[in-house]
Amino acid sequence: MGSRFSFFLFFTFFFLCNFSHLSIAQRLNFTSFNGSISPWSPTQNQTLLSPNSEFSAGFLSVPNSRNQFNFSVWFTKVPSNAVVWSAKSSVNSSDAIVFDSSASLTINSRGQLLLNDSSGKILWTPENPSTNSSSATLFLDNRGNLKFGSWESFQFPTNTFLPNQSIQETIFSLNGKFKFVNSLNLVLNSTSDQYYSTPSPLKSMDEAGRVDMVSSFFLTSDYGDTRLRKLVLDDDGNLRIYSFYPEEQNQWKMVWVALQEQCKIKGKCGANAICMPGEDSYSSTYCVCPSGFIENPGGVQQSGCSRRTQLTTNTKFLRLDYVNFTSNTGQMTQIEARNFTFCEARCSSDPECLGFGFKYDGSAYCVVLKQLLFGYWSPGTETALFLKVDRSETATSNFTGMTEILQTTCPVQISLPLPPKDSNTTTRNIVIICTLFAAELISGIAFFWSFLKRYIKYRDMATTLGLELLPAGGPKRFSYSELKAATNDFSNLIGKGGFGDVYKGELSDHRIVAVKCLKNVTGGDREFWAEVTIIARMHHLNLVRLWGFCAEKGQRILVYEYIPGGSLDKYLFRRRVVPVNSNGEEATPGHDPVPDPNTMQKPILDWNVRYRIALGVARAIAYLHEECLEWVLHCDIKPENILLGDDFCPKISDFGLAKLRKKQDMVTMSRRRGTPGYMAPEWITTEPITSKADVYSFGMVLLELVTGIRNFEIQGSEMKSEEWYFPGWAYDKMFKETRVEDILDNEIKYCYDSRAHFDLVTRMVKTAMWCLQDRPELRPTMGKVAKMLEGTVEIMEPKKPTVFFLGGE
C-alpha cells in the first residue's frame, strides 16, 4: 500500500514536473505569433520555432552593445554562425534594425505586423504583406522562411541564401562593402566595380548540395549528403557555400567558393597598393606598396600608397612580375600591340598613362592604365606590369624574384638540348647542358635563396593557378558525335592506359584535346556525372585539366587538355624502352630493350628539371590529398601518368579515376599493366588504402628520376638476384657505401657536380626513402614530402626499406 502510494506520488510528481516543463516550453517556444499573444518583446525570451524545430526566429542581443537587439532567424541547433536572416532597414542596406528591450512586435487589429519602440515609432514592418486582419499570423516554415501573409523573409534576404530559397534578390555582406547582384555578379558596392560573375545566374540550391543555374548547375564538394547548408556573401567579399557537420565538432565546412584567389576581390587595398595572398592563401591577404611608392598615413589597406618621387616628363618603367591592376572601366584601355616596344612607347608618350600590363605569350595583350586601382599579385595572371616611375627613382622592383619561385614548380623558359646523335655531339651537348646548368646556378642560386625564404608563401599560390578558369557549371558535356568528329572517328590513338585508350582530337573551337574512352566503369550516368564534376573541380598547375565528358550509349569518355610533351617515362627510360607487343599492350619487363627511334628524340632532363618535376608532382598530389575540398587518392602514380607540358612542366593525368573503380580492379589492372613496382605493400594486404599508398608510388617515381632506372627492370649482373629490391639497393649505395654516383642516371652522370648537386640529389633520395617505408604510418604525408623536397623541413635519416615483393601472377 505504502509503496503504491509512493508510486502514485512519484507519478504525480513526475507528471507535474513534466507538465510544468511543457508549460514553460509553451511559453518560450511557439509555432506561430498572432494577435492573441501580441505583443512580443525581447524580454519575454520567446522563440518562434519552425514545425521541424530546425529554425528559430526571435530577438537576438547584438554583441558588444548592452540591451540592444535585432530580430532574426537562425538555425536552432547550430552553436555558431547560425543567423540566416535579420530584419533590415531597407533592401539596399546591409544594416539590421537594432533596438532596445522596450521595443515590441505587435499585430494590431488591422492585421499589421509592427515593430515599434516605446514611443510608438514604427521601426520595421514587412513590405506589402497583404493580409486579412482575421488570419494574420507570423510563422516560420520548415525551410527557415518567415511568413506573414504574402510576405516572406526569403524575398528579403540579408547575406544568406538557404536551400530551396530562390536566389534572385541582391544580398549584401554584413559590413555593406560587397554585394551579389542579379544572382550573377559580385560587386564592390562603393564603386560598382565587378570582380566575379558566375557562368550563368544562380537559381537555387538544394539540401544535397546541387546549385541550379539558368543554363546548367554545379555541385558542392560534399554533394549527396542531406545537410544544413547556406550560401553566404561573407564580409571578405567572397561567396561561399557552407555545410554543417554536427559529427565534426559542430563546424561549418566550406564546400564551394566563388573566388579561389582572395586578392581578386576588389577593394582589398587602397589606391596604388598591391594585394598579396597571406600565409593561408585561401583566406587571408595583405597589402604592400609597389617599388617607388610609400605607405600613406592611413595605412596601405585603407589609404593606399603614394609616389616617393613625382613624375616629370623624364620617366622609366619598373617591371612587376605577376601583377595586374584592374582599375575602373574607362581608366584602362586594351590596345593592339604586336610587340613590347610599341606598348612601352605608347605609355611613355602619354602623360596620363601610369603603367601598362604586358602578356608574354604573343597574345598582343597590352593594357594602358590611367589609374592604379585594385592591384593584385597572382601567378595566374601570366602578366608583368610595367609601372611608370620618374627616371630619378632609385628603387628597384622587388616583384621580380617571385618569378624564380614559380620556376621551382614550372620553369618559365628553359630549353634543353636534344639528345646526342653521335659521340662528338655527345660531348658537346654534355658541355652545353652542364654550362647551362652552371650558369643557371650561379646567376640563380644567390638570388633564388634570398627570395625563397621571403616569398615562400607565394609559391603556394602557384597551386591555385588557373582555378578561376573552372566553370562553376562543371565540365562541358559533349555528345558522342561531337567527339567522334573531333577525333576523326577515333583514328589517332596516342596512348593506352589502364583506364582506357586515348585519342588525339581537335574540338570545333580548335582546342587540341586528348580523348580518353574509359573501360569497365561501374555506376549509372548520375554517379559518373557527379564524379566527373569533382575531377573537373580539381585545378592545379600540375594536373592535366579536364574539359568535358561524354556519357552516352553506355560510353564513358573524358576530354582532357592535350599535353604535347608526352609522358615522363619516355624521357627517363630512353635507352630502356619497354617494347610494345602486337596487341598494343606493354610486354612484361625483363626483355632486352629495343630502342625506339621516336623516343630517341626526347631531350635529356638535367638535374634542375628533374628536381622541378619532382616538386611539381609532389605539390599536385599534396593538393589532391590535402587542399582539395574533396579528398582524392590518385592510386596510379607512375611515370606514364606524368605528362610534360611546356618547358617540362609536369602534369599529372588520370587523377580521380580510381574512384570509379574498386580496389580489386585496381590491383588486377596494375598487375596486367606490368607496373606492380609502384604499388604500396598495402595493396596486396587487407589493410585499407590511404593517401600513403600514393606516397609510396611517388617515392618510387622520385627514385627513378634520380637513377633513370625503371624500378622493376632487372639490369646488370648484380641486379639479377631474386632478392634485388630497387629501394633497398639505392639505400645501400647512398647510406651504407655512400657512393651516390653509383645510383645516378648514366645519361647525366657527367653533369653531376658533387658540390653543386649533392644537396639536391641527397634531398631527393632521402625523401624517396621516407616515401618508400613499408609501413604506411612511417611515410610522411604528401604535404610534408613537398616540404622535404623544398628543403624547408629537416629530413631525418630514413630507415632502409625492406624487401617487398608483390609476387608473381
Ligand X SMILES: *[C@@H]1O[C@H](CO)[C@@H](O)[C@H](O)[C@H]1NC(C)=O
Q: Is 46 helix (H, G, I), strand (E, B) or coil?
A: coil
In the list 40, 73, 86, 277, the residue contacting ligand X (rule: CB under 6 A) is 86
Window contacting ligand X (CB under 6 A); options: 286-294, 595-603, 670-678, 787-795: 286-294
CB of 32 to ligand X, least distance (A): 5
State the Cα–Cα distance between residues 787 and 578, nearest whole angstrom. Answer: 33
Q: Which of residues 296-335 bind ligand X (CB under 6 A)?
A: 324, 326
Binding mask 714-753 for ligand X (x = CB under 6 A): ----------------------------------------
CB of 31 to ligand X, least distance (A): 6
Q: Is 702 helix (H, G, I), strand (E, B) or coil?
A: helix
Cβ 353 vs Cβ 369: under 8 Å: yes
Please report where in the chains the cell 645501400 appears, as a residue: 732
Cβ 301 vs Cβ 361: under 8 Å: no
Mapping DSSP onto H, E and C, the string for 235-284 reads: CCCCEEEEEEECCCCCEEEEEEECCCCHHHCCCCCCCCCEEEECCCCCCC
53 binds ligand X per the rule CB under 6 A: yes
96 binds ligand X per the rule CB under 6 A: yes
**Encoded amino acid at 786, one letter:** A
Cβ 203 vs Cβ 183: under 8 Å: yes
Window contacting ligand X (CB under 6 A); options: 23-31, 683-691, 720-728, 792-800: 23-31
Residue 582 burial by CB count (10 A; 0-12/13-18/19+): exposed, middle or buried? exposed
Cβ 160 vs Cβ 80: under 8 Å: no
Please report where in the chains the cell 579528398 appears, as a residue: 631
Residue 320 burial by CB count (10 A; 0-12/13-18/19+): exposed, middle or buried? buried
CB of 580 to ligand X, least distance (A): 42
In the list 37, 353, 412, 436, the residue contacting ligand X (rule: CB under 6 A) is 37
Give the angle subtended at the CA of 652 by the CAs of 651 and 656, to the nearest 5°: 145
CB of 394 to ligand X, least distance (A): 11
CB of 287 to ligand X, least distance (A): 9
Closer by beta carbon to ligand X, 316 or else 659? 316
338 binds ligand X per the rule CB under 6 A: yes
Cβ 21 vs Cβ 35: under 8 Å: no
Helix or strand run (H / E) with residue 3: helix 2-28
DSSP 468: G
CB of 465 to ligand X, least distance (A): 11
**Encoded amino acid at 128, one letter:** N
Nearest residue to 207 via CA among 190, 174, 176, 230: 230
CB of 649 to ligand X, least distance (A): 18
State the Cα–Cα distance between residues 159 and 164, nearest whole angstrom. Answer: 16
CB of 765 to ligand X, least distance (A): 34
Terminal-residue alpha carbon distance, the chain: 81
CB of 116 to ligand X, least distance (A): 4
Closer by beta carbon to ligand X, 526 or else 720? 526
State the Cα–Cα distance between residues 308 and 527, nearest whole angstrom. Answer: 59
CB of 773 to ligand X, least distance (A): 39
Q: How many residues bind ligand X (CB under 6 A)?
A: 62
Closer by beta carbon to ligand X, 380 or else 616? 380
Window contacting ligand X (CB under 6 A); options: 82-90, 277-285, 551-559, 585-593: 82-90
Is 636 one of the annotated active-site residues of the chain?
yes
Q: Which of 460, 636, 654, 694 is catalytic?
A: 636
CB of 196 to ligand X, least distance (A): 10
Please report where in the chains the cell 594536373 appears, as a residue: 543
291 binds ligand X per the rule CB under 6 A: yes
In the list 25, 214, 512, 714, the residue contacting ligand X (rule: CB under 6 A) is 25
For the chain, the farthest-separated pair of C-alpha atoms sits apart, in whole angstroms, at: 115
In the list 55, 57, 58, 70, the residue contacting ligand X (rule: CB under 6 A) is 70
Cβ 205 vs Cβ 163: under 8 Å: yes
Q: Which of residues 168-227 bind ligand X (CB under 6 A)?
A: 172, 174, 176, 189
353 binds ligand X per the rule CB under 6 A: no
Half-sphere exposure of 344 (CA within 13 A, CB side): 11
In the list 3, 36, 582, 583, the residue contacting ligand X (rule: CB under 6 A) is 36
Q: Taking the CB of residue 4, how many other CB atoms lie within 10 A of it? A: 8
Window contacting ligand X (CB under 6 A); options: 62-70, 695-703, 724-732, 797-805: 62-70
In the list 40, 48, 49, 219, the residue contacting ligand X (rule: CB under 6 A) is 49
Window contacting ligand X (CB under 6 A); options: 87-95, 484-492, 538-546, 584-592: 87-95
State the Cα–Cα distance between residues 180 and 664, nearest whole angstrom. Answer: 48
Binding mask 141-160 for ligand X (x = CB under 6 A): -xx--------------x--
Q: Is 306 helix (H, G, I), strand (E, B) or coil?
A: strand
30 binds ligand X per the rule CB under 6 A: yes
Cβ 549 vs Cβ 478: under 8 Å: yes
In sequence order, the β-bridge partners of residue 73 are 57, 85
Q: Taking the CB of residue 166, how many other CB atoms lie within 10 A of it? A: 14
Window contacting ligand X (CB under 6 A); options: 86-94, 425-433, 492-500, 525-533: 86-94
Q: Which of residues 98-137 bind ligand X (CB under 6 A)?
A: 104, 106, 108, 114, 116, 118, 120, 130, 132, 137
32 binds ligand X per the rule CB under 6 A: yes
In the list 312, 341, 349, 491, the residue contacting ligand X (rule: CB under 6 A) is 341
Give the angle subtended at the CA of 614 by the CAs of 731 and 758, to the nearest 5°: 50
199 φψ region: left (φ > 0), alpha (ψ -120 to 50), beta (else): alpha
590 φψ region: left (φ > 0), alpha (ψ -120 to 50), beta (else): left
Binding mask 385-424 for ligand X (x = CB under 6 A): -------------x--------------------------
In the list 93, 215, 302, 415, the residue contacting ligand X (rule: CB under 6 A) is 93
Sheet holding 383-390, edge to edge: 315-321, 383-390, 355-359, 365-369, 332-336
464 binds ligand X per the rule CB under 6 A: no
57 binds ligand X per the rule CB under 6 A: no
In the list 18, 89, 339, 394, the residue contacting ligand X (rule: CB under 6 A) is 339
In the list 164, 303, 306, 333, the residue contacting ligand X (rule: CB under 6 A) is 164
Please report where in the chains the cell 557552407 appears, as a residue: 242
CB of 561 to ligand X, least distance (A): 19
Phi first, then psi, for residue 305 (nearest 5°) are -130, 160
Window contacting ligand X (CB under 6 A); options: 218-226, 288-296, 306-314, 702-710: 288-296
Among the residues of 469-595, which ranges form H helices?
Answer: 480-486, 525-537, 568-572
CB of 697 to ligand X, least distance (A): 35
Closer by beta carbon to ligand X, 104 or else 200? 104
In the list 243, 260, 381, 697, the residue contacting ligand X (rule: CB under 6 A) is 381
Nearest residue to 57 via CA among 127, 120, 135, 113: 113
Active site residues: 636
Where do contacts with ligand X occur on this chain (CB under 6 A)?
24-25, 28-32, 34, 36-37, 43-45, 47, 49, 53, 60, 62-63, 70, 72, 76, 83, 86, 90-94, 96, 104, 106, 108, 114, 116, 118, 120, 130, 132, 137, 142-143, 158, 164, 172, 174, 176, 189, 288-289, 291, 324, 326, 338-339, 341-342, 359, 381-383, 398
